[in-house]
Structure 1
Amino acid sequence: MPLINVIPGDKIPTAPLNVRVPMWRVPGWLMLLVWIGRGLARVVVLAVRYWWLTVPAGLAVWVRAEYGTVVLVAAVLVLTGGCVTWWQLHPASWLRFGWYPLVGRWRRVWVYRRRWASAMATCGLATVFDGDRYIPRLGKVRSDSFGDEVTVRLLPGQIPDDWATAAPRLAYTFRLRDGRAYAAAKPDRVTLRFLRRDPLAALVAPLPVAGVPDFTALPLGIREDGDVYQLRLTGSQLLIAGATNSGKGSVIWSLIRALAGGIRSGLVELWVFDPKGGMELAAGTPLFARFAYEDPDRMAGVLEEAVKRMRHRAARLRGTSRQHVPTPADPLIVILIDELAALTAYITDRKVKERIKEALGLLLSQGRAVGVHVIAALQDPRKEVLPFRNLFPTRIGLRLVEKEEVDMVLGDGARDRGALCDQIPETAPGIGYVALDGVREPVRVRFSYLTDHDITQLVRDYARPGGGAL
């Protein structure tokens, strides 16, 4: 190989850089095969995904080809007659296992799937990364007589609170009445609840009274999914907040009715405080073990008596049981206060006010395990009752005046998670949201309404043994 003499300062000759991308010529027949293969794969995927449409259609085509149109029509009539017979004989199972699954699949395709991509984009739930658009995946749709439950797989970085904020906009996008979001069992899922019609639009009649109440599931009203709402009283304290004419009386009398069987049998003692003069609750005096009103000093004394009963019971149960079990000899004590702010904020006698606050603090913090429960109602959550809020594991928010009051009553972030207490109309008393400690999403409920006649009948049938209140 010859050597090249290089003189200092001279440029060394170099070959030009080839920057052209190599071209691959693909035959047209190969491209056609690729397109056909992709199309067939897509058809197979759609056929499997929508088997509830493709299988009946395939069977119908096969029956018509093998046996003719007459046999096909006869088979359709027999199938229709079987469904109608099922519906007539057992409508509940027909709706659950026959009709509603079909409605859910149909609505998934024709209501949600068609608008899904645009809805995700306009509601801010889709995202773009590295030039590609990512959309949350639509899962199963379960329908019932009132609405739909839509399961969605979250995108990375999303949390259920993002969907709770967007749920009302999604409802309007899909032309539905209302929408709320709930955390699902799997951490990468969220459940959307959309209403087609509101089960809480009408008044709720008084619910049946159990002879022996279940203190873990007291029936009080109807939930937004149409099922009976059952309140857990065991191990809890209850706060009820609502503006004037929001339906606090419905909640209170529904609770009294749910406990009536225990009152008659001696398993429950109701200690009632009505600082407004007794107008609201005096009709139920034969149901009460204690009834205090007007006199602040007497109300403070009754609360202090409850503290003594609580401490005596705690001393007796110490080392033998961690949870009180009600008996006629040792009943459950339920302290019902109609207007809590009247005891904690409106009383002018400072000493009496301090006595009441001290007694309430002890009852709320120590009474649950020994069977002493406090149920308190108030109108204005801005009063001095707020320091007691965290001592109420169960809180009910009825119609409230301002947005800020929702979080004051139900806890921080409750309104963002769907508790729209400030949007409840005045024409719908008794509707509210129930928030539980440890449960992210509040539950929308309409509590039963008791007329004066219903209250009179309740008192006549379930008055406590031994007479009325002391």
Structure 2
Amino acid sequence: MPLINIIPGEKIPVAPMNVRLPAWRIPGWLLVFWWLARGLFRLTVLAVRYWWLTAPAVFALWLRAEYGGLVLVGVVLAVVAGCAGWWRWHPSSWLRFGWYPLVSRVRALVVYRRRWASVMATCGLATAFAGDRYVPQLLKVRCDRYGDELTVRMLPGQIPDDWGQAAERLAYAFRLQQGQARSTGRPDRVVVRFMRRDPLAGVVAPLPVAEVPDLGGLPLGVREDGQAYRLRLAGSHVLIAGATNSGKGSVLWSLIRSLAGGIRSGLVELWAFDPKGGMELAAGVPLFARFVYDDPDGMAGVLEEAVKRMRLRAARLRGVTRQHVPTVEEPLIVLVVDELAALTAYITDRKVRDRIKESLGLLLSQGRAVGVHVVAALQDPRKDVLPFRDLFPTRIGLRLTEAEQVDMVLGDGARERGALCDRISESSPGIGFVVLDGVREPVRVRFSYLTDDDIRQLGRDFRRLCDIDARDEQEVTR
């Protein structure tokens, strides 16, 4: 027994402290009752959660008990016939409100919820604290023709970029092709999309041409959800980067085709630059107000002329409006450059190269508000080749040769958010990812493909028919 010293020289014995917890004896019948109540509560929760299974089952049992098996079979056949008639009469509404909601619930139960906790742990999205395990909550699964969208409540401390980095691992864990994460309007939620079938596997045919182009949404191709992709040209410049045979021509000609109605009416002027000797853009000469190729000095001169037009227009619009509206008298000017690196890096004449860089810098920094836009394509996205790539608000990454090039073209972190440009197959030209300033998530698109015959027919059908004055006279410089 330990001793405690109260008075110097005197020790008094003290009993040890009792730290044992009291034991409660519970009767066996009470424990059984508790287990039954707990099981009944869980069954009730499951029955309410999966009402789309329990409600038909209860109704079928009641129908069988009250009216017999023949009536039950008749009701089932009537429901099947009604669904078949709905599908036959209006298939789009049947798929939207009947079939896909059912598929979503079944896949949520069979594919995702069954393995959710284990997949979250192996992909590094679950955590443990004070002996308890915390797993992100799967809120909703929505299926469509091409893939599944999962709405998830993230754990505290997680951000959508964490899910973007793990999206590919999640797709493989659920035996699917590709995954991509995007943020929602709520800060605690993220949407993860998995693709079951690629809607971009086939070639996209040329899209219809509008009489008046919608500069806020030019149709250029198809998105991975099967919907038409529309590019916003108003107030923007467009950069297209991709390796050889990646489909840069598809993007350029899709854009030119979407502007063809405005070219014919005089609302749009195309100034084309083809440093590769005119091989890519020569077939569309009837569509161009300017077409320059081969001569670097001539290209520098046309760019300087565009700068003069831009400054004159800015002087006329100063104090009148902050955004140019295209008219026949003041058309939208679009400069299309097939290989930008040939103008900014590969010209041996330093003075000419500096003139081109100065003009392009002015056009990119000042041209959007006055209706002068630059659409440029290149293969090499390095900074020394294109020093002002950050001046392009809209950037399109086609197939690239290296993973590092993805962030060079589309911005830091684009590849982690799903823009796998380096994994695009060589057999799928025209597929790429589009990134807009202010929008974090890239959009996967396949652009329409125009054959040489399509391009020549486009030039014949939509050639420039408006009368232009001497200042805007069409010329071909060599």
State the TM-score, normalized to the length of structure 2. 0.95
State the Cα distance separating 1:286 from its structure 2 match.
0.2
Q: What amino acid is aligned across from residue 428 of structure 1 in structure 2?
A: S
Mapped to 1, the partners of 2:249 and 2:200 lie a distance apart of 17
The more displaced of 24-33 and 220-229 is: 24-33
Contact 2:268 / 2:334 at 8 angstroms: preserved in 1?
Answer: yes
Name 1:32's counterpart in structure 2.
Answer: 32
Name 1:55's counterpart in structure 2.
Answer: 55
* CA displacement, residues 227-271 of structure 1 (integer Å, 9 cap, x when unaligned): 111100011100000011000000000001111111111111000
Mapped to 1, the partners of 2:386 and 2:413 lie a distance apart of 16
State the Cα distance separating 1:385 from its structure 2 match.
3.6
Q: What amino acid is aligned across from residue 107 of structure 1 in structure 2?
A: R
**What does 1:313-462 correspond to in 2, within 5 Å?**
313-382=313-382, 384-462=384-462
Mapped to 2, the partners of 1:436 and 1:314 lie a distance apart of 25
State the Cα distance separating 1:20 from its structure 2 match.
2.6
**What does 1:78-157 correspond to in 2, within 5 Å?**
78-157=78-157
Give yes or no for the alignment of 1:267 onto 2:267: yes
Mapped to 2, the partners of 1:52 and 1:311 lie a distance apart of 65
State the Cα distance separating 1:14 from its structure 2 match.
3.1
The more displaced of 147-156 and 61-70 is: 61-70
Give yes or no for the alignment of 1:283 onto 2:304: no
State the Cα distance separating 1:13 from its structure 2 match.
3.6
* CA displacement, residues 166-224 of structure 1 (integer Å, 9 cap, x when unaligned): 11111111111111111122111111110111111111111111111110100111111
Q: What amino acid is aligned across from residue 416 of structure 1 in structure 2?
A: E
Contact 1:341 / 1:383 at 8 angstroms: preserved in 2?
Answer: no
Q: What amino acid is aligned across from residue 11 of structure 2 in structure 1?
A: K
* CA displacement, residues 11-63 of structure 1 (integer Å, 9 cap, x when unaligned): 22434432332111112222222211111111111111111111111111111
Name 2:300's counterpart in structure 1.
Answer: 300
Identity %: 74
State the Cα distance separating 1:8 from its structure 2 match.
6.0
* CA displacement, residues 48-92 of structure 1 (integer Å, 9 cap, x when unaligned): 111111111111111111111111111111111111111111111
Q: What SS is found at the alignment partner of 2:259?
A: helix
The more displaced of 324-333 and 239-248 is: 324-333
Q: What SS is found at the alignment partner of 1:98?
A: helix
State the Cα distance separating 1:466 from its structure 2 match.
4.8
Q: What SS is found at the alignment partner of 1:12?
A: strand
State the Cα distance separating 1:469 from its structure 2 match.
3.9
Q: What SS is found at the alignment partner of 2:230?
A: strand
State the Cα distance separating 1:383 from its structure 2 match.
5.8
Name 2:3's counterpart in structure 1.
Answer: none
Q: Which runs of 5+ in 1 are unaligned?
A: 1-5
* CA displacement, residues 111-157 of structure 1 (integer Å, 9 cap, x when unaligned): 01111111111111111111111111111111011110011111111
Q: What amino acid is aligned across from residue 211 of structure 1 in structure 2?
A: E
**What does 1:242-257 correspond to in 2, within 5 Å?**
242-257=242-257
* Residue 7 to residue 262, structure 1, CA distance change in 2 (3 Å): closer
Q: Which runs of 5+ in 2 are unaligned?
A: 1-5, 468-472
Name 1:169's counterpart in structure 2.
Answer: 169
Q: What SS is found at the alignment partner of 1:330?
A: coil
Mapped to 2, the partners of 1:250 and 1:383 lie a distance apart of 25
Name 2:71's counterpart in structure 1.
Answer: 71
Please provide the CA RMSD for this pair.
1.4
Name 1:3's counterpart in structure 2.
Answer: none
State the TM-score, normalized to the length of structure 1. 0.97
State the Cα distance separating 1:225 from its structure 2 match.
0.9
Q: What SS is found at the alignment partner of 1:11?
A: strand
